[in-house]
Amino acid sequence: MRLLLLALLAFSPALADPPFDIAAHYTKQEFRIPMRDGVHLFTAVYTPKDTSRKYPILMARTPYSIEPYGPNSYPNHLGPSPKFAEDGFIFVYQDVRGRFQSEGEFVEMRPERDHPRGPNEIDESTDTYDTIDWLLNNVPNNNGKVGLFGISYPGFYASAGLIDSHPALVAVSPQAPIADLYMGDDAYHNGAFFLIANFGFYTFFNKQHNPVLPAREPEFKYGTKNGYNFYLNMGDLADSNKKYLHGANPYWTDIIDHPNYDEFWKSRDILPHLKNVKPAVLIVGGWFDAEDLSGTLKTYRAIQHQSPQTHLEIVMGPWVHGGWSRSPGDKLGDISFGAKTALFFRDEIELPFFLHYLKDAPDPQLPAAYMFETGKNAWRHKAQWPPANAAPKRFYFAPNGKLAADPPAAASAFDQYTSDPNNPVPFFNKPTLDMDREYMDADQRFVEHRPDVLTYQTEPFTDDITIAGPISPSLFVSTTGTDSDFVVKLIDVYPDNAPGGLGGYEQLVRGEPFRGKFRNSFEHPEPFEAGKVQHIHFSMPDVYHCFQKGHRIMVQIQSSWFPLTDRNPQTFTNIPTAAPDQFVKATERIYRSYDAASYIEVNLENPGIQR
């Protein structure tokens, strides 16, 4: 959630300064809309001054403030992109319950209720329903149709609006929606805590006593520009709470007090509630989204499987978190995508979707899956995702750092390294205090020769190969410790003669950590028995990437990724309160024998190619 503030910027009415004059074309009103339990939610409504026709309502709900406040204070931007304001909608922005000018108590990822009964059974779905009902009856000149959109946390609120939705809600676009904070979204990835993102976020996202006008939180003073050193010296997470946040932020405390997948997290998983969805849904995400790529894909799959009658579409582009709304989308770091992909999305996909469902414009005939193939840098239309012609392919770890098509034949073979939690492997090749989004496709050569990183790679491919869908590592491991992390990175190795200064570049395509004590259960962690071979199998978020002719697939294995994730002390303990003497070196082994064959499985869209 560290970069969820960017989601605010992505949809906020104060984003840019386009030539279209909002104040000249829209009238602003502010309301305190009553919910069924008597709580009032602060809402800004912008209606077109041209009343010669009726307009649909397009709404966004946010915990990040709907400033500027005041009926005479106008933003520079309305809607997902400038063309929406030019076309004409009734735009509605709302502070969610317990944030800024809205009354009530804010609850982080408020749990959903199934079919709430009575005035006091509320959740984000009922607040959305009640808001829509009030707007239809109190905002003149509306055409009876409502759309809902939002990015990241506001994307979660868009998803919540789908549940037991108001009949007038006909089109919803959850974009990079948080779905399950523990299982792969902002907080934990396979049990490993995303440290740098969450600490940075909770230094400014605090509990409020409402109503309150927005005030800029004082900037947190790190005392250094080197995040690696700052977090290494931080101590355990409990100490960080006392030392830096002074126990004053209950949201941070909740996260570090629940390192296992307990009822706190399970109750906040919105996915099981996405059933019988009535509105048309456009899910949007980025292949390089470091925050909520998992939530995007899981939201799509949940609706696809639990509500098959829903008109459902997904768009995935070469974007960071919210990058489709605020940038050209033409590059990330050193990697170019060949076109302004975000502009294309905004004009040719997003706007036509809402115009069709809210204004009866022609059907844009969007495919079920509108997917950008990285590597090839081309948009593809797919009838389903993953594509029907994708077939699983395993690449086995082999001697001398090779990735092989055939399983190993050796009776006993392994590679090993020593992992030192006091000298963890950095996640990025530049000093940073933030979760720099460029790490998602950054060159990995800066760690390739570290003694605590194992590297395996194929021979150069003789043809293009494209992988489409999730990636599944299957590792046979042992450790001399009683707990260890295992980080798996899938990398595209460019040939030495690659153009554009990318010769030998090792582009990260996908990387994920796995906290070993959760290998059998995220609810009930188990220690390792020193030296005993254990199996770890998990799924990494989807990719759609072409390894072009002459390129190689590389896999790197390591046991730290710092400070992207917190350090595993390699002692079986409650990590947030681990003592300094519990952080110990451990020898990690990755096995590659016939009865313990470690591999990485991908889905090849052209499975006839074996190399």
* C-beta of residue 45 within 8 angstroms of C-beta of residue 52: no
CA 370 and chain centroid, separation: 18
Q: DSSP for 101-138, please give it.
A: T--S---TTPPPPSS--STT---HHHHHHHHHHHHHHH
Query: Between these two residues, 94 and 243, which has the higher pLDDT value?
Result: 94
How far is it, in rounded angstroms, from Cα 43 to Cα 57? Answer: 13
Backbone angles phi and psi of 354, in degrees to 5: -70, -35
Listed range (100-114, 206-220, 382-396, 500-514) with the worst mean pLDDT: 206-220
Helix ranges (DSSP H) in 12-121: 22-25, 82-87
For residue 112, list its beta bridge partners: none
Count of other CB atoms within 10 angstroms of residue 466: 23
Token pair for residue 247? 């126990």
pLDDT value, residue 19? 74
Count of other CB atoms within 10 angstroms of residue 379: 18
Q: Does the pLDDT of residue 65 top 90, yes or no? A: yes
pLDDT value, residue 2? 40
Interval 251-306: pLDDT, tens:
999 999 999 999 999 999 999 999 999 999 999 999 999 999 999 999 999 999 99
Interval 115-165: pLDDT, tens:
777 888 999 999 999 999 999 999 999 999 999 999 999 999 999 999 999
The band of 608, judged by pLDDT with boundaries at 50, 70 and 90, is low
Contacts of 583 (CB under 8 A, 6+ apart): 421, 422, 567, 569, 570, 571
* C-beta of residue 188 within 8 angstroms of C-beta of residue 576: no
For residue 418, list its beta bridge partners: 587
Interval 451-497: pLDDT, tens:
999 999 999 999 999 999 999 999 999 999 999 999 999 999 999 99
Name the percent of the chain lying above pLDDT 90.
89
Domain 4-180+268-273, what fold?
Rossmann fold (3.40.50)
pLDDT value, residue 233? 93
Instruction: Tell me the CATH number of domain 391-604, given options 2.40.128.20, 3.30.110.40, 2.60.120.260, 3.30.1360.120.
Output: 2.60.120.260
pLDDT value, residue 483? 98
**Amino acid identity at 382:** K
**Amino acid identity at 292:** D
The band of 15, judged by pLDDT with boundaries at 50, 70 and 90, is very low
**Domain ranges across the chain:** 4-180+268-273, 391-604
The band of 7, judged by pLDDT with boundaries at 50, 70 and 90, is very low
Interval 240-262: pLDDT, tens:
888 899 888 999 999 999 999 99
Count of other CB atoms within 10 angstroms of residue 201: 22
Q: Does the pLDDT of residue 235 top 60, yes or no? A: yes
How far is it, in rounded angstroms, from Cα 62 to Cα 83? Answer: 22
* C-beta of residue 599 within 8 angstroms of C-beta of residue 471: no
How far is it, in rounded angstroms, from Cα 150 to Cα 128? Answer: 13
Interval 26-50: pLDDT, tens:
999 999 999 999 999 999 999 999 9
